[in-house]
Amino acid sequence: MHQDIESVLFSAEELHRRVTELGAEISRDYQGRQPMLISILRGAFIFMADLVRSIEVPCTIDFMAVSSYGSGTTSSGQVQITKDLSDDIEGRDIIVVEDILDSGNTLYYLLQILAARKPSSVRLCTLLNKPERRVKEVDVTYSGFSIPDAFVVGYGLDYNERYRNLPYIGILKPFVYTGKR
């Protein structure tokens, strides 16, 4: 797997340090409250696990899986919930935890769906932010790192269900997904 990585963007140590900082920010902002963190599967599960361990206020967790791709490789723009929340969010403080904010299409619609369920608040925490690719504006409260427009894997992010288990985030060599050397 490591041979498919062009360069490492963020080492395991850099990730740990930034996730700890995000946990401290959330702990400060939610003092005296109990937020519910919602991880968007599958890519955010490692980030979510580390983030929750860095938060020092009581919190609960839940998971959602969404798709906007259908059977193709480009977004259809229509969000389909493939795994919904287990708990009601009405009146709760919600923090959506995402691995990467790219075009914003999926998160824009997902945040609208969640807002319709009448939570007290909804905020977004994303590990990676690719502002160059933004099509829909999405309000980000907590952002780990801004990254260039590159195909990244590791720390939960994948290509074709591979590379999630890398302890760092790296740029995938283009030949891996184009087949061209």
pTM, two decimals, is 0.91
pLDDT in tens, 60-86: 999 999 876 554 434 556 778 999 999
For tokens 């919190």, name the residue.
59
The answer for residues whose C-beta is within 8 angstroms of residue 81's C-beta and 6 or more apart is: 64, 65, 66, 113
Are 94 and 61 contacting, i.e. CB atoms less than 8 angstroms apart?
no
Q: Where are the beta strands (DSSP E) in the chain?
A: 5-10, 36-41, 60-67, 80-83, 93-101, 121-129, 142-146, 152-153, 169-172
Q: Classify burial at 13, counting beta carbons within 10 Å of its beta carbon; exposed 0-12, middle 13-18, buried 19 or more.
A: exposed
Class level of CATH domain 13-150: alpha beta
Which has more pLDDT, 145 or 132?
A: 145
Q: What angle do CA 121, 124, 125 make, to 5 degrees?
A: 130
State how far the Cα of 50 lies from the Cα of 72, in Å rounded to an integer. Answer: 32
Here the tokens at position 4 are: 């498919």
Tell me the pLDDT of the chain averaged across its residues. 92
pLDDT tens per residue, range 6-65: 999 999 999 999 999 999 999 999 999 999 999 999 999 999 999 999 999 999 999 999
Which of the following is catalytic: 102, 139, 149, 158? 102
Asked about 102 being catalytic, the answer comes back as yes
Domain map of the chain by residue range? Answer: 13-150
The Cα–Cα gap between 25 and 142 comes to: 8
